[in-house]
């Protein structure tokens, strides 16, 4: 059975579905190292903050249901990092391994490139998360770091895997500073 997926910009009506996906991962997964799921109001606040700063934020929808989401955010808050973003991606457990994450990531990479970002960083919680590591690798990311045993969740120590991908011209040319995205 073919699954029809539509990738579209997020709306505030998506918050409950996004929070359900995220909360499941907070409770049972290692992509997020939060220990207690936030409520819908907190997720709405986080979304508003990203949208106010003009970061791209997308959902994957199937048959009218949100089944995954992705967004970019500041890698670090200092202005010297303004051309670098960090990606986040979550897919409902029932819809994983169907190409949804790839579609979300491809859309996010294109959106970040069009906004003059030059580097994208993936901070992957848990070196055992081979699906995420392989997805990023297949999309041109390279592992640039491993921070062993820096997190503790679900009664075990977790590594953090750092992966990086150039966007557009990457570091081969100077960015157009006048048109650079700079979060306020």
Q: pLDDT tens digits for 151-171?
A: 999 999 999 999 999 999 999
Number of other residues whose CB lies within 10 A of the CB of residue 166: 16
Residue 14 lies in a domain: yes
Residue 31 lies in a domain: yes
For residue 139, give the CATH number of its domain: 3.40.630.30
Residue 67 lies in a domain: yes
pLDDT higher than 90, residue 180: no
- CB within 8 Å of 115: residues ≥ 6 apart: 54, 56, 181
Residue-level pLDDT at 11: 97
Residue 1 lies in a domain: no
Residue-level pLDDT at 175: 87
Residue-level pLDDT at 179: 52
Q: What is the mean pLDDT of residues 118-138?
A: 96
- Report the sign of the C-alpha dihedral through residues 88, 142, 133, 136, in that order: positive
Range of the domain at 98: 6-179
Residue 184 lies in a domain: no
Q: What is the mean pLDDT of residues 115-123?
A: 97
**DSSP 3-state assignment of 72?**
strand
Q: Name the pLDDT band for 58 (thresholds 50, 70, 90).
A: very high
Q: What is the mean pLDDT of residues 81-103?
A: 95
Residue 27 lies in a domain: yes
pLDDT > 70: what percent of the chain? Answer: 95
Distance CA(39)–CA(37), nearest Å, equals 7
Residue 61 lies in a domain: yes
Residue 13 lies in a domain: yes
Our count of domains for the chain comes to 1
pLDDT higher than 80, residue 138: yes
pLDDT higher than 50, residue 14: yes
pTM exceeding the 0.85 threshold for the entire prediction: yes
Residue-level pLDDT at 184: 46
């Amino acid at each position: 059975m073919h699954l029809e997926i539509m990738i579209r910009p997020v709306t505030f009506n998506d918050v409950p579905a996004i929070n359900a996906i995220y909360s499941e991962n907070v409770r049972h997964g290692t992509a997020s190292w939060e220990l207690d799921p936030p409520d819908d109001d907190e997720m709405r606040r986080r979304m508003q903050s990203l949208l106010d700063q003009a970061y791209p934020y997308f959902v994957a929808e199937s048959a009218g249901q949100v089944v995954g989401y992705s967004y970019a955010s500041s890698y670090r808050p200092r202005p010297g990092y303004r051309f670098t973003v960090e990606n986040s991606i979550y897919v409902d457990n029932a819809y994983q391994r169907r190409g949804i994450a790839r579609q979300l990531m491809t859309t996010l990479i294109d959106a970040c490139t069009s906004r003059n970002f030059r580097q994208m960083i993936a901070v992957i919680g848990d070196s055992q998360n081979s699906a995420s590591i392989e997805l990023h690798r297949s999309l041109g990311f390279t592992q640039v770091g491993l921070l062993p045993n820096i997190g503790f969740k679900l009664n075990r120590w977790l590594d953090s895997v750092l992966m990086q991908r150039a966007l557009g011209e990457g570091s081969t040319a100077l960015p157009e500073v006048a048109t650079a995205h700079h979060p306020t």
